[in-house]
Amino acid sequence: MPKPPNGAFLLAQGAEGIAVGLACKILPHNFNELLDASIAILRGKKTNIMPDFPNGGMADFSQYNDGLRGGRIRLRAKIRQQDSKTLVIDEIPHGTNTSSLIETIVKANDKGKIKVKKIEDNTADKAEIIVHLPAGLSPDKSIDALYAFTDCEISISPNAAIIENDKPRFVGVNEMLKISTDQTVELLKLELEIRKSELLEQWHFASLEKIFIENRIYRDIEEAETWEEVMANIHKGLKPHTKHLKRAVTDDDVVRLTEIRIKRISKFDSFKAEDLISRLEDELAQVQHHLDNLIEFAIDYFKNLKKKYGAGRERRTEIKTFDTIEATKVVVANKKLYVNREEGFIGYGLRKDEFVCDCSDIDDIIVFHEKGTMVVTKIDTKKFVGKNIIHVGVWKKGDKRTIYNMIYQDGASGAAMMKRFAVTSITRDKDYDLTAGKPRSKVLYFSANPNGEAEVVQAKLRPRPNLKKLRMDLDFSDLSIKGRNSKGNIFTKNLVSKIDLKEKGSSTLAPRKIWFDDVVQRLNADGRGTYLGSFKGDDKILTIYQGGYYRISGFDLSTRFDEELVTIEKFDPEKIITAVYWEGEKEQFNVKRFSPEDSRKPLNFITEHEKSYLEFATTHPSPKVVLQFDRRSEDREDEEIDLVEFISVKGLSAMGNRLTAAKVKTIDRIEEPIEAEEEVVEVPVSAKAAVSEKSSEGKASGEGSSEVESQDEEHKDEKRNGPGSQPTLF
């Protein structure tokens, strides 16, 4: 482990080592940022330096913990989409190389985690890996899969430690830099003091030499017969002229005077000697000034280092906040799920049995049984999960959109109960009873609905005396969605012989609220970032980019957005896009208004000239601009233009109209605030109201009010629901 004096060099280069029972891992930092941080420390400011790696890439330092033990950083390669079938990796994480990275991609492909058609390594002076994707595969999902299953994303755990007073000390990188900076100041002070001492000695001897020669003291030694007499005569001759000297004259000084050659004495120039002494005094004054203002001197020292050596040492690793990629959401469906319902087996090795769906080898599988129980388990080649399976499918943690509709008979001859529920969290391989718990309970009807659909079913009742109505309808949309532990409500106390689907239903869930988080450039449903609106199945998103093109896409939360994104909003086909852009060939600002075509492919709406660029684009219904002209060439006042009146709506390929012939200095947008329309969220009819309606129908038809009754189980649910089993609210 390094000692503190090497702190700055250590932080710039990084270090890693293992001692007996002690490890050290210090990551490299940016040279210029270290100098800037040292200057900040000298000015009494706090610092927060982050590592920088020569390979570039991206890094999330949100858990860096100042480089101390327990911290962690996530590193990602930079992956860009060249086209719909090609990805390019041109910056790789620290600690990897192109060969090792390609090897992890090949292994992930062989294991079926991702799908890759071909990989090319075009690395020369810079990394460049070309990943060719099979047709029909989503590039966005493939990028996420590369991060999830290969070394395109790695994590590093730092452990900053140094040796201080022959003992190990764990110290953060900012404290380490402060120690190094303080030591640098001490070294600079020592250098200045040494230089001051040297200058004083030079000034002292130059003054003695001038006195010795100008006063012809060298003649006093001509008749001396012994060395002691020579020394005494010189001391005697100097004494009247040395009162201004800064220290006493020593024998060593006298010896040096006797060593002056006659040739030098004969050519002695008093003016040159005086000039030398004056220059030494100026330099002494400067050195003393630096000592008196040591901190400013140290700051200038660091600035000079940056000026001399900082060019070309800019930060290479981009600092970002990463979103968490769930492997189960991006893994390729590399397996097929089969089921043997009667014998109770599931797995991807049962190829002779009933095919269920495509899945991956890391998926969880949810299984429902005829007796009203449920279990979630990991997929395997062949696994026994219980006989008489009525439903099997892939289960996703936290899935609030998949709603299960169920009617079951409570015990051998009890009432038929109805319920709707979601399964958002479970304990794997634990059996859950979805009924009221009576022996010989049985599921009469079951459906799984990926978007909360609520169908209408018809139940055929067993005939009995005084029972006039033998058929009953149930609209599941009249039921509230509760937790899986809820007993449900009474559908009928009569025995049910058969239940048939009468009418397919639509989703009863409220539209999904979507936000855009510009930090990670992703959509989310968790309330992070800018609210885009409520989305239903066919709704889409409009994105406009700095490159002068737009794209219309779905609201899949895995969608990636280009960093050149300038506008993102819920797509409204009635809205008109107004764009102001610089037309490179004609060298003028153009305005165009057009209705966007519904296309997932990026569509350009400015000219393709290399000098063309987008000034701005908006869907505001009444955009205006204020033009400020270059007063050096145009003596004109600022001009306000209503763009709706300026140009009519034209086609996508139209170039638009010239905004002005004058030279424009700035273009400022004026967009009056738009009142947001009140959002109406449909709320499902409560079970209580639904039961009330059914009870009224039952009385009107002559059937007793006991046919359909409400059981309010909320207080019971609260007692039964354990941790992770809270009812889902919509």
Residues 6+ apart with CB under 8 A from 188: 294, 297, 298, 301
Structure tokens belonging to residue 5:
């004096």
Contact criterion met (CB below 8 Å) for 238 and 251: no
Give the Å distances, CA to CA, from 519 to 74, 522, 530, 570, 706. 16, 8, 11, 19, 57
DSSP 540-587: -EEEEETTTEEEEE---TT----TTEEEEEE--TT--EEEEEEETTTT
- Reported pTM: 0.64
Is pLDDT larger for residue 215 or for residue 187?
Answer: 187
pLDDT of residue 688: 35
Triad 100, 82, 582: Cα angle to 5°: 140
Average pLDDT over residues 694-719: 34
Share of the chain above pLDDT 90, in %: 51
Contact criterion met (CB below 8 Å) for 467 and 708: no
Q: Please tell me which of 15-19, 379-383, 522-526, 635-639 the model is most confident about, judged by mean pLDDT.
A: 379-383
> Which of 7-21, 356-370, 557-571, 708-722 is predicted least confidently?
708-722
| Dihedral angle sign, alpha carbons of residues 619, 620, 621, 622 | negative
Domains and CATH numbers, the chain: 81-153 (3.30.1360.40), 195-292 (1.10.268), 396-509+685-720 (no CATH), 512-670 (no CATH)
- Closest-CA residue to 341 (of 378, 395, 375, 392): 392
| Dihedral angle sign, alpha carbons of residues 181, 186, 191, 192 | positive
pLDDT of residue 729: 25
Q: Is the pLDDT of residue 529 over 80?
A: yes
Structure tokens belonging to residue 311:
């060019």
Structure tokens belonging to residue 474:
């149930």
CA dihedral 164, 168, 173, 176 (to 10 degrees): 0
pLDDT of residue 210: 86
* Residue 633 confidence class, pLDDT cut points 50, 70, 90: low
* Residue 149 burial (CB count, 10 A): 24
Q: Is the pLDDT of residue 593 over 90?
A: yes
* Residue 730 confidence class, pLDDT cut points 50, 70, 90: very low
Average pLDDT over residues 452-481: 90
* Residue 706 confidence class, pLDDT cut points 50, 70, 90: very low
Q: 403 pairs with which residues across the strands?
A: 449
- Closest-CA residue to 554 (of 577, 535, 529): 535
pLDDT of residue 676: 52
Q: Is the pLDDT of residue 680 over 60?
A: no
Q: Is the pLDDT of residue 674 over 80?
A: no
Helix, strand, coil share of the chain (percent; to 5): 25, 30, 45
* Residue 256 confidence class, pLDDT cut points 50, 70, 90: confident
* Residue 6 confidence class, pLDDT cut points 50, 70, 90: low
Q: Is the pLDDT of residue 292 over 90?
A: yes
Structure tokens belonging to residue 709:
């009754």
pLDDT of residue 193: 95
Share of the chain above pLDDT 70, in %: 91
- CA 45 – CA 47 distance, rounded (Å): 7
Q: Is the pLDDT of residue 713 over 80?
A: no
- To the nearest whole number, what is the mean pLDDT of the chain? 84
Average pLDDT over residues 695-706: 34
Average pLDDT over residues 443-458: 92
Is pLDDT larger for residue 618 or for residue 216?
Answer: 618
pLDDT of residue 344: 94
pLDDT of residue 675: 61
pLDDT of residue 665: 87
pLDDT of residue 369: 96
pLDDT of residue 243: 82
Q: Is the pLDDT of residue 686 over 70?
A: no
Is pLDDT larger for residue 633 or for residue 661?
Answer: 661
Triad 14, 18, 23: Cα angle to 5°: 75
* Residue 360 burial (CB count, 10 A): 20
* Residue 126 confidence class, pLDDT cut points 50, 70, 90: confident
List phi, psi (to 5°) of 724: 80, 5
Per DSSP bridges, beta strands 129-132 and 22-26 are unpaired
- Closest-CA residue to 420 (of 433, 401, 406): 406
